[in-house]
Amino acid sequence: MSDADAANTSQSTPITVGGVTYEKHKTHWYPHGNMIFTVQDIAFRLFKSFLMRRSDVMAQMLTVSQPNDASSNPQEQQQMFDGAPVVRLDDPVLDFALLLDAILPQTFASSPVPSDSPWQRLLGLAQIAHKYGVNDILTQTGIVLEGIIPTTKNLRGYNGLRNRFVSLSWLAAAASHNNFPWHSIT
């Protein structure tokens, strides 16, 4: 078996943490990563230092001391997999993967925010970028959304739509509300 075949086999093998099985994310499972995030039924193995550098919220979240000694309550102990701590996130998996695509691009692009994404996906990206304090991605997402959704800055081309617009300040405020039904908007 070649190294590439071994890597592909390893990549497709699910992991089990705390009795729950997760599929490895096809792009953001880095075999030498030192941090694992589980989001819904997907596991992401990432590099803690890179996430901490890009996100103040992640930096705070990942530097909080986790009890992990034998005398502590077993339910409070940090879950581990293959020597890496595991953190469970309650975010939509598509939003978290899109945020990682933006901050960990696989190729160089002038903008890590995909301008051909549906606006609903972009709103989800704006929400999760705001939640984790990745301000450059939030700003870039706002710029892409300005080209898709009428805003207070670009109403000239939208005759008759003066009452139907989005301001970027509204977008930032809306992105901060975790209960906003982003994915049900059509």
Task: Name the packing angle between helices 93-103 and 135-146 (round to 10°).
Answer: 100
Residue 75 or 16, more confident: 16
**Alpha carbon distance 86, 57 (integer Å):** 17
Selection from 32, 31, 13 nearest residue 23 by Cα = 13
pLDDT band (50, 70, 90) for residue 169: low
Indicate the helix (H) or strand (E) that contains 123. Answer: helix 119-131
pTM: 0.71
Residues in CB range of 185: below 8 A, 6 or more apart: 120, 123
State the pLDDT at residue 114.
78
pLDDT digits (tens, 9 = 90+) for 107-166: 766 667 878 888 888 989 999 999 999 998 998 898 888 888 765 555 555 544 444 445
pLDDT band (50, 70, 90) for residue 58: very high
Q: Is the pLDDT of residue 19 over 60?
A: yes
| Angle made by CA atoms 119, 39, 130, in degrees to the nearest 5 | 45
pLDDT band (50, 70, 90) for residue 67: low
Q: List the structure tokens of 89.
A: 């996130």
C-alpha distances in Å from residue 125, one per residue of 87, 136, 140:
20, 12, 10
Amino acid of residue 72: S
